[in-house]
Amino acid sequence: MSTGTDQRVLRSDGAYANLHVFRPAGACNGVVVLSPGAGDDRDALSWLGRALSKSGWLAVTMAHKESGRDSLRDRVRNGGLRDGLLALTTDPEAYDDRLEDAGSALHWARGQCHAGPAVFAGHSMGAVTVMIEAGAKNKLGLDSDDRFDGYIALSPQGKGAIFPAGAWHDIRKPVLLVTGTRDEPLDGKWQTRTEPFADMPPGCHWLAVVDGATHFNFAGFGYGHGDIEAKILPLIQRFLDNVRGHRCSVPSPAAGVKFDTK
């Protein structure tokens, strides 16, 4: 089992990004940059980084200092868990920091692996970061660089404090959205996480809803997370293979996964 290696890389603003790198054993199919949720460190998506490296991808998870464990702890201490989480996940500076990390991770990874596409994947606050990078309009004043060939959002956010109605209408590149029937956001029901898919135009855009999956299952934690990972990993791998092959062949999802495409 690959445990990954730590890598510290210089960002364009002079600060450093802390990465955790999972290298493929053989030839490289492409690059996947992974952004965990608020308060999570680089270990949160290690299940996915490990799995993707085994299927030939250079996977790089980021430890976002400005929205990591210490940053969340400080905000929770001041305002309680819910308010602390809301404050952190709607902070434009925290997303600026994440996007800087993503740019440096991509630049470093491209120096290691020249082949294939580069895909940006994230969970929760990381999924917000992914959608902003992909071009979703937002209320935080953040611009999109759209530096990747495809995007994966685990537990994406619907309209609310970050995204207005119609935020995703101009996203054209391939996108895989994944949520679960127990994946409730801080405000509202899990169904709001399907709103980005409903708003996107046709063009290799996929939505998977996993029966019984909780928010933290996608990060690699919580009861039954191994079963959830086994259901969504084939979809993620097929999505990546499609991006790599410039096609959009639709897979047959596992039992307990509702799957929509357009």
pLDDT of res. 40: 59
Tokens representing residue 60 in the block: 């790089």
pLDDT in tens, 74-95: 555 666 566 656 667 788 999 9
pLDDT of res. 1: 43
- Domains in the chain: boundaries: 5-261
Average pLDDT, the chain: 91
Find which of 52-66, 89-103, 156-170 is predicted with most confidence, using mean pLDDT: 156-170
- Give the containing element (helix H, strand E) for 128: helix 125-134
Does residue 69 have a pLDDT over 60?
no
pLDDT band at 31 (very low <50, low <70, confident <90, very high): very high
Tokens 């919580």: give the residue.
Answer: 222
Domain 5-261: assigned CATH number: 3.40.50.1820
pLDDT in tens, 176-225: 999 999 999 988 899 999 999 999 999 999 999 999 999 889 988 788 89
Average pLDDT for 9-18: 93
- CA dihedral angle for residue 39, residue 200, residue 213, residue 60, rounded to 10 degrees: -50
- CA dihedral angle for residue 130, residue 134, residue 136, residue 138, rounded to 10 degrees: 60
